[in-house]
Structure 1
Amino acid sequence: MLNYDIDVSDVDYGLALSDLAAEGDLLDALVSAEDDWTRPTPAVGWTIAHQIAHLAAADANVLIAVRTPDAFGAVSKQAEAGGSRYADDIAAAAAAQPRAALLEQWRSGRSELVAALRAMPRDSEFPWFGSAVTPALMAPLRLMETWAHGQDVFDTVGVAHPATTRLRTVALLGVKGVGLSFAAAQLTPPTRQFRVELTGPDGQVWTSGARDADQRVRGSARDFCLRVTHRRPLSRTDLTATGQDAKTWLEIARVFL
């Protein structure tokens, strides 16, 4: 597996944890009001129950890695043995539970996760799939995944996913993940700097990179987050790219392995 190589030193760790809790609560309110968790979501073969089960399982794995690092080796071996079916099989098994039991499992797990990460030094390391990570990276990653899988559920029930400033952390992961994106596509990462200009939900423009960079990406923060989490094809976003490297990046952009 590829290693994460994302510098999150400039991420507001406390805010990321608070945003993680808030995004979970937002999705909780949506699924609690939805009686039919068997409805299919945009992820092929996954129902609403699968989406919640996946989030609950990932939170549980983080808790194992944080609380009992030596025991995480068994989780990693299970993932290796499961290969590309690992996430599907884990989600399917948990989704078979009664709705109430799965909901409670997810609620308690995500609450414990935020508390566990908050109690740790942000730069301490614990094992993860293919690499060691820190709470400073895990908090944004869990926020990103909660938001992305939540988007699948919002799309399923036909409710608009509220755009909030929590998108800033997700977008920052996307910007920081240029090298990861090219490596995952087995392409040589570009050496030239990118200029990224994203319009947040409050109208503020979030920028990264030198003003005079010749590789540029512009658009809404929401569409950028939808793209880097693979929730929308590039053609269904308002994103524009200037420069071949920037165009390639938007085509292969990702924030997960």
Structure 2
Amino acid sequence: MSETMPVIDDLREESEELDRLVGELSEGEWALVTPAVGWTVAHQVAHLAWTDRRALQAMTDPDTFRREIEKALAAPDSFVDEGAQEGAARPPAELLADWRAGRKALDDALRSAHKGARFPWYGPPMSAASMATGRLMETWAHGQDVADTLGVIRPPTDRLRHVVRIGVRARDYAFGVRGLTPPADEFRVEVLGPSGELWTYGPEDAAQRVTGPALDFCLLVTRRAHRADLAVRAEGRDADRWLDIAQAFAGPAGAGRPPKGAEA
């Protein structure tokens, strides 16, 4: 079995933070519409519960999970929404209990995974650490949708490092999913973490550079805010292009968020 990885602990803390936001909501508040078009608070939590179940299935029953991949390939633009719709139709208390139980089961599976094990996923196979990182990124992003809906300002934490890292590593995917050729050269990415530490990626002398606050970079790569509203800056044509299309998640990018003041 693998040693406990910090990212698993961070995933638990990220999930618990969102749980505190939704745990005491009324039925009417679960039905509030979030910035994701057509999705309520219930849809957001239902999506997380659905994806946690898929991650657990990938780790414990990979053959069955591979059949889920086939379903996703057959309906790439709708399979995620279908999972969220099904869960959101349930009573909020039942949905919340399901999400909590699924989180606990996945946490146990991640902590007991054998070192070096790889698990199937909708993209390349993933290690337990990568699986946890992906789940943390999604939990944070969908939690942001819920927080925005409820008018809650969440203080950023250094858990954002995981979101930054996956966003940086997904650079070539963001180009490729749009039919574009990824840049040949590495970029330099420098973002300032909430605790004041500078997180850096890529060669120091790279001609293409991206800089800014970690929170803004995470909002950008999860497509939770429009680039025009964020303090993320690019030097170089390729880096500038990347900031227009960056995404830290697999699948279609979606419409993203309009600039503040613009009509959705």
- Mark yes or no: TM-score above 0.5: yes
Which consecutive segments of 4 or more residues in structure 1 shift more than 6 A?
none
- Given candidates 31, 36, 42, the residue that maps to 1:49 is 42
- Given candidates 131, 142, 147, the residue that maps to 1:149 is 142
C-alpha distance in structure 1 between counterparts of 2:196 and 2:137, whole Å: 21
C-alpha distance in structure 2 between counterparts of 1:190 and 1:233, whole Å: 23
Amino acid at match of 2:154: H
8 Å contact 1:122–1:136 — kept in the other structure?
no
Superposition deviation, residue 130 in structure 1: 4.4
* 1:13–1:211 Cα change, 3 Å: farther
| Alignment correspondent of 1:107 | 100
C-alpha distance in structure 1 between counterparts of 2:73 and 2:175, whole Å: 23
* 1:13–1:229 Cα change, 3 Å: farther
Q: Does 1:16 align with 2:7?
A: yes
| Alignment correspondent of 2:172 | 179
| Alignment correspondent of 2:209 | 216
* 1:83–1:182 Cα change, 3 Å: closer
Question: Within 5 A, what are the aligned runs for 1:213-252?
Answer: 213-252=206-245
Amino acid at match of 1:19: D
Match of 1:116, SS state, is: helix
* 1:21–1:186 Cα change, 3 Å: same
Match of 2:78, SS state, is: helix
| Alignment correspondent of 2:17 | 26
| Alignment correspondent of 1:169 | 162
Superposition deviation, residue 210 in structure 1: 1.8
Superposition deviation, residue 197 in structure 1: 1.0
Q: Does 1:67 align with 2:60?
A: yes
Structure 2: tracts of 5 or more residues without a match: 251-264
Question: Within 5 A, what are the aligned runs for 1:88-127?
Answer: 88-127=81-120
* 1:189–1:13 Cα change, 3 Å: farther
Superposition deviation, residue 15 in structure 1: 1.1
Kindly indicate whether structure 1 or structure 2 has the higher relative contact order, using CA contacts under 8 Å at least 6 residues apart.
1
Count of residue pairs brought into register by the alignment: 246
| Alignment correspondent of 2:129 | 136
Match of 2:204, SS state, is: coil
Deviation digits for residues 181-229 of structure 1 (CA, Å, limit 9, x no counterpart): 1111211111222111101111221111222211111100000000000
| Alignment correspondent of 2:262 | none
8 Å contact 1:55–1:146 — kept in the other structure?
yes
| Alignment correspondent of 2:194 | 201
Structure 1: tracts of 5 or more residues without a match: 1-11
User: TM-score by structure 1 length?
Assistant: 0.92
8 Å contact 1:219–1:240 — kept in the other structure?
yes
* 1:122–1:174 Cα change, 3 Å: farther
Percent identity over the alignment is: 47
Match of 1:197, SS state, is: strand
Amino acid at match of 2:102: G
- Cα RMSD, aligned residues only: 1.5
Deviation digits for residues 121-165 of structure 1 (CA, Å, limit 9, x no counterpart): 243112222442221211100000000000000000000122000
Deviation digits for residues 55-110 of structure 1 (CA, Å, limit 9, x no counterpart): 00000011111111111133223323443111111111111111111000000101
8 Å contact 2:8–2:129 — kept in the other structure?
no
8 Å contact 1:143–1:170 — kept in the other structure?
yes
C-alpha distance in structure 2 between counterparts of 1:96 and 1:62, whole Å: 22
